[in-house]
Amino acid sequence: MKLFLDIHDTLLLESFKEVMTQIETYSLVQTEDEAEIILTDQGKDYSNPKICVVDTSAPLNFDLLLQSIQKKMTASLVTFSHFLYNPRLRHLHNEVSQKLTLLTEKEGALLLYFLKYKGEEVSRETLIKDVWGYKEGVDSHTLETHIYRLRQKIEEDPKSPEILITTPGGYTLQP
């Protein structure tokens, strides 16, 4: 199948490339009747890697393709306080300062755990067990170090936290 582009389609194709640069790896698999865009992350497939399937037996509508991709990409975004978090990319967007911060893998896992129990106290032991996979009774400063680093990224004043609070039994992410 040959794809003929006019000027409008060429501009949309450039927008498509811009959207796709936000994804680490992608491929376009095309058969006679359809094409699908598949996302991968450092060689690992996502649980549902297909973004969209496009009927290639008819002219390709790049507007609809872009809308489909952007909708799928924003479906997993999580909001808290004045932040928008993309767990797939581990991008933390401060909606006040417009600053974009990349979280480490463990910071992202820790934040997702807090978001799952937003407003509830989570014990240190539970975090060590569920986020790190350590057995009970392990004495490590890794949790405090990661809490410190996460606060550097989400708190206006990390010395006086207002979002990720230390409680007598652990930590609470404010709703």
Radius of gyration over every alpha carbon of the chain, rounded to an integer in angstroms: 21
Residue 97 phi/psi, 5-degree rounding, is -85, -10
**26 φ, ψ (degrees, to nearest 5):** -145, 160
- Each residue's pLDDT tens digit, 107-159: 999 999 999 999 999 999 999 999 998 887 666 789 999 999 999 999 999 99
Domain ranges of the chain: 7-74, 78-173
- In this predicted model, which residue has the larger pLDDT, 174 or 30? 174
- 78-173 belongs to CATH 3.90.850.10: no
pLDDT in tens, 49-100: 444 455 555 655 666 666 666 666 666 788 899 998 988 888 999 999 989 9
Give the 3-state secondary structure percentages of the chain, helix then strand then coil, rounded to 5: 35, 30, 35
